[in-house]
Amino acid sequence: MSLEGLRAWIGEVERKLGMRTRVFLVLSVIALGGAGAAIYLAIDAREDSVSESDVQALQERLETQIREAAAGTAPATPEEPAESVQPAPQPEPEPEGGKNGGGGGASREGSGTNSGGASAPGNAELKELVEQAKKQKAELEAESAGR
């Protein structure tokens, strides 16, 4: 082989190696950016997550409100007076069979007062409590976003 042929071959190898190096660098930058984004999202998710104690406190509060509603007393919440809560629209009661065919599937509230199926006022009170919980969750999310 001549010296000119070897120089041409080495030049071709250098061009291929340069292209591979650039591609490798671009892929490395993309991988580092993706890893940085994943770390940021993981930290953000950890900060925005609800702790187990928050869930337990909300669950206890809802259970208390359900018991008070079942007993016929007005639920006492320290944050909101009972008059400011707007009742949720009540759906029309379904026939005894219901959609699920079982009838009374929503009566599992643990108090044992509704053994034959949930009454419409009980459902409305539960829906009202769920709406209150959703509003409070939205307020907490707004607070945490403001931090």
Please give the structure tokens belonging to residue 144.
């945490």
How many Cβ atoms from other residues are within 10 Å of residue 68's Cβ? 14
**Which of 97, 93, 122 shows the shortest CA–CA distance to 109?**
122
pLDDT value of position 9: 93
Q: What is the gyration radius of the CA atoms in the chain, in angstroms?
A: 31
pLDDT value of position 145: 80
Q: Is the per-residue pLDDT at 68 higher than 80? A: yes
In angstroms, the CA 26 to CA 32 distance is 10
In angstroms, the CA 61 to CA 121 distance is 20
Q: Is the per-residue pLDDT at 8 higher than 80? A: yes
Q: Is the per-residue pLDDT at 66 higher than 50? A: yes
* pLDDT digit string, tens, across residues 108-125: 444 444 444 444 556 777
**82 band by pLDDT with thresholds 50, 70 and 90:** very low
In angstroms, the CA 103 to CA 111 distance is 18
**pTM assigned to the model:** 0.36
